[in-house]
Chains A and B, each alone.
Chain A
Amino acid sequence: MITQPASIDLTGDPKRRSRERTIRSIFLVAGLMSVAISALIIVSLAGEAWRFVSQVDVGSLWTLGWFPRRGFYDIPTLLIATLVIAGTGMLVAVPLGLGAASYLSEYATPRNRRWMKPALEILAGIPSVVLGFWALTFISPQVVQRFFSSAKPFTMLAAGLGVGVLVTPLVATVSEDAMRAVPRSLREASYGLGANKASTVRTVVFPAAISGIAASLILAVSRAIGETMIVFMAAGAVGGALRTFNPLEPGQTMTAAIASLATGTDQVAGEGLAFQSLFFVGLLLFVLTLALNVLSNRIVRRFREKYE
């Protein structure tokens, strides 16, 4: 015979509840930490950058080139070199990456896909210092100088091609994931209406996957702008650079300028405003990539063909 207790105790185990509270606060700290670090970076960048802006001679921001040791802080030199190299890289990565993504997602037999996708992912994992060295020892003499015999060993073109090789797998793998995520029913609808593969990819799969594809391109552009090692090694102009649009000339990107100042390859650390200019360029880089992200988010939201 079972007797009913007068009242039921539902308070549970207090130890378990306190354990859950502890776990929750550990995760909260981890979450807050990343926010705090970002804020810290911005604050330290902004402080030194402000010191640069407030003390620099405005005239020295618009000169023939970027020679911080001599007090020439021509920002356009760095911006142009950054855009030329990132642009060259994207000229390589967009057709190659999207082509590879289309092949893997729509054309490849499962057998080919099984080995090609991991191969691409391995390429994505090659350290950029290796690619930089390769750009210097292979792309520059074997590609750039073969087509342009007058080209110097260090050129923005060689660095740009190296950056293109670096970001191609990024474009390919992220775009491929987005394209494969497009439901099969949409492809069937297209084939059922007598569309061939090429027009199905172009008019159905691409538009439906556009947000993922755009995301891959943004990631690639951000990566290309932020890439340091390849440009540092292959674009030359470590000490400074003249302002030029010509990809067959050496050039210095924002990242390479920061790297050379910070590592002291041109022995300026702590001297004059050269050291502070590093923070200013860093802040500029940060603003540029942030703006790029915001802009692309808008574009994606505008053109997305949302399924489901």
Chain B
Amino acid sequence: MADRIGTTVDSVDHTRPETLEDASPSLAATRSPRVTGGTPSDEHAVILELSDVNAYYGDFHAVDSVSLPIREKEVTAFIGPSGCGKSTVIRSINRMNDLIPTARIEGAITYHGVDLYAPGVDPVEVRRRIGMVFQKPNPFPKSIYDNVAFGPKISKYSGDMDELVERSLTRAALWDEVKDKLSDSAYALSGGQQQRLCIARAIATSPDVLLMDEPASALDPIATLRIEELMYELKQEYTIVIVTHNMQQAARVSDRTAFFSVDVKEGQRTGRLVEFADTATIFTNPQHDETEDYITGRFG
């Protein structure tokens, strides 16, 4: 396999068909995900930079030395098997791991050049700019309206709240379905609608980064498709980082993909970044055997 890496590592045009065939005929034959994620140019500026990030829960070393850049107005996907630390990494970007008493991050995550873990950085301020959508839809047990207005209210939004709620719901492709029942409980919505409500709630605070931790894993295929379409819309305005178990999803929605894997050593499972590249490369011409095994379903 070393010679294959040698032939492709310097190749700039990853989509050149003869390279692909030469490099990995078996891969081309078995490749199942439909790759629609592009081969992005590097014109988007780096908004977040992870440098040598290590995560610990107490003595447990959960993530080993992850470095990668995240560019604005792109969708960056984190894929990999369970326990590979992809959720830990995404949750460290808006300091959500601070809520776990034993969790600790080493290394640097810079956002617009500012280290998010520098002393004096207020996690509350970080989370207002870097919003999050969770795996299981978690609307508040309040009305649809109050769910969307929650973030703006706590940050003392002074503009027209009705207008902001409508705009946020519209952007989350939910307005038409709920405009007549804004005062109904959010729990009356279906799972897919609840997740879009959570997205509306996150964008109502006008963050510039949206973190999505397996946002569609609890949804049926049709609801999943709607969330994916929505992501495509949202990346015109927001930077999106998504963790997903679903490789087809990563292939469909993301511009760049980071593949994580897990090493088991002395009973500890430590996640690490194996490969990070534009999505087309990861899915058609990965540099590492591990990545290829995983995306072709030969993992484990």
- Which residues in B have their C-beta under 8 angstroms from that of A207? 141-142
Cβ contact within 8 Å between B140 and A186: yes
**Residue A5 is within 8 A (CB to CB) of chain B in the complex:** no
Stretch at the interface among B18-26, B107-115, B128-136, B287-295: B128-136
- Interface: B150 (CB within 8 A): yes
Cα A193 to Cα B148 in complex, Å, equals 10
Question: Contact between A193 and B101 (Cβ–Cβ < 8 Å)?
Answer: no
CB-based nearest B residue for A307: B141
Given contacts A189-B134, A203-B150, contact A194 B99 (CB under 8 A): no
Query: Most chain-B CB neighbours within 10 Å: which of A183, A192, A306?
Result: A192
Stretch at the interface among B6-14, B198-206, B257-265: B198-206
B125 within 8 A of A: yes
Q: Are A194 and B127 in contact (CB under 8 A)?
A: yes
User: Is A306 within 8 A of B150, CB to CB?
Assistant: no
Residues of B within 8 A of A (CB): 94, 96, 99, 101, 124-125, 127-128, 131-132, 134, 136, 138-142, 150-151, 154-155, 187, 198, 201-202, 205
A-B contact pairs, 6 of them (CB 8 A): A189-B139, A192-B132, A192-B202, A195-B150, A208-B140, A305-B141
Q: Does the CB pair B151–A306 fall under 8 Å?
A: no
Cβ B96 vs Cβ A191 within 8 A: yes
Query: A191-B96, A306-B187, A307-B141 known; A185 and B201 CB under 8 Å?
Result: no
CB distance from B123 to the nearest CB of A (A): 8
> Within the complex, what minimum Cβ distance (angstroms) separates B102 from chain A?
9
Does A192 contact B142, Cβ atoms closer than 8 Å?
A: no
* Interface SS of A by simple majority: helix
* CB proximity to B under 8 Å, residues A192-245: 192-196, 199, 203-204, 207-208
B127: nearest chain-A partner, CB-CB:
A194
Contact of B154 among A183, A188, A203, A208 (CB under 8 A): A203
User: In angstroms, how far is the closest chain A Cβ from the Cβ of B165?
Assistant: 14
Chain A 105-136, CB within 8 Å of chain B: the 1/0 string? 00001100000000000000000000000000
The answer, among B124, B139, B141, for a CB contact under 8 Å with A195, is: B124
Residues of A within 8 A of B99 (CB): 187-188, 191
Kindly state the separation between the CA atoms of A194 and B134 in the bound complex, as whole angstroms.
Answer: 15
By the criterion CB–CB under 8 Å, are A199 and B138 in contact?
Answer: no
> Which A residues are in CB contact (< 8 Å) with B101?
109-110
Query: Does the CB pair B127–A185 fall under 8 Å?
Result: no
A186-B140, A192-B131 known, 16 other contacts, Cβ within 8 Å: A110-B101, A183-B138, A186-B138, A188-B132, A189-B140, A191-B127, A192-B94, A193-B150, A194-B151, A194-B205, A195-B151, A196-B124, A203-B150, A208-B141, A305-B140, A306-B141
Indicate if A293 sits at the interface (CB-CB under 8 A).
no
Q: Complex: how many Å from CA A110 to CA B100?
A: 11
Q: Is the CB of B96 within 8 A of A189?
A: no
B-facing residues in A236-265 (Cβ within 8 Å):
none
Chain B proximity of A138: nearest CB distance (Å): 38
A270 to chain B, nearest CB (A): 57
Task: Write out the residue numbers on chain A whose beta carbons fall within 8 Å of the beta carbon of B198.
Answer: 189
**Bound CA–CA A194/B129 (angstroms):** 8
Closest to A196 in B: B124
Residues of B within 8 A of A305 (CB): 140-142
